[in-house]
Structure 1
């Protein structure tokens, strides 16, 4: 799934915002807070950060994300895994088998920036996998609800980035 927005700000300004891992926690209805792990202090391939999430249906959970791509002012991507003993039990801690993969792509457009946010669920098990396993007869409804929930969060995050980038505030 992907959402995108045109932002009336230069790519470097938008890049600074999307590579600030703390910013989405201010904008997203689900992500509550983040912190770099292992002494990392910024985006570089291999760096890890934790995310703390909250959803009214699932409750609260922690994830560990692994930065998998940093293409300066073009793309920033991370693979989300479950920590040992996390909410999803046997979920993968391997970034090659993530719960989800998230990315931002930036491109110059009409004097501003086209910002695209993409989320790919799986291939590792997640809360969605668990919900479907508990209610296989409602798979279509469960997936549709989660997709809409994610889209709402992505649109809120992109709108917030747009406002900050165009307004000059951080």
Structure 2
């Protein structure tokens, strides 16, 4: 696990990685399937490709319905900004130029398996977190810290589930 930044303007990040005893191609099948993500997440409820897209490619977009106890419910559009099978998949939330968040899977061959990292960055665009900070500016570092912890926990769950699926342990 790795964290950077404690202020929203710093575009704080969190990253978690795990080793999976499966080929990068097998792991790619899972991480590039956006329909798997809502099955793993307590916040992301559903996703759908937009504008006739049926898989990841740079420029393709998908909508996601989300729910969080503190932020309520919302819908986002995410845009694939990097897609290099079976190595890297990145998407920007809301606006590819000024995203509210950026998410990335990185796959690296490692011995007979794959080292999988999931990474997330907050900002720089306005999000529920930035709105919470505007309401309580004196609590910015705590808000960012709590959100990074939530993201770290969610990513850890995601990676464990992907590992189980890739290693056929489900």
For the aligned residues, what is the CA RMSD? Answer: 1.0
Could you tell me how far apart the structure 2 residues matched to 1:152 and 1:30 are?
12
Counterpart in the other structure of 1:57: 70
- Off by >2 Å, runs of 4+ in structure 1: none
Please, what TM-score do these two structures have when normalized by structure 1? 0.90
Could you tell me how far apart the structure 2 residues matched to 1:53 and 1:16 are?
23
Count of aligned positions: 157
Counterpart in the other structure of 1:85: none
Give 5+ residue unaligned stretches, structure 1. 82-93
* 1:95-135 C-alpha deviation (Å, 9 max, x unpaired): 11000110100011121000001101111111110000000
Please, what TM-score do these two structures have when normalized by structure 2? 0.90
* 1:8-62 C-alpha deviation (Å, 9 max, x unpaired): 1111100000000011100011111100000000011100000111111111110
Match of 2:42 among 24, 29, 36: 29
Counterpart in the other structure of 1:110: 111
Counterpart in the other structure of 1:135: 136
Counterpart in the other structure of 2:33: 20
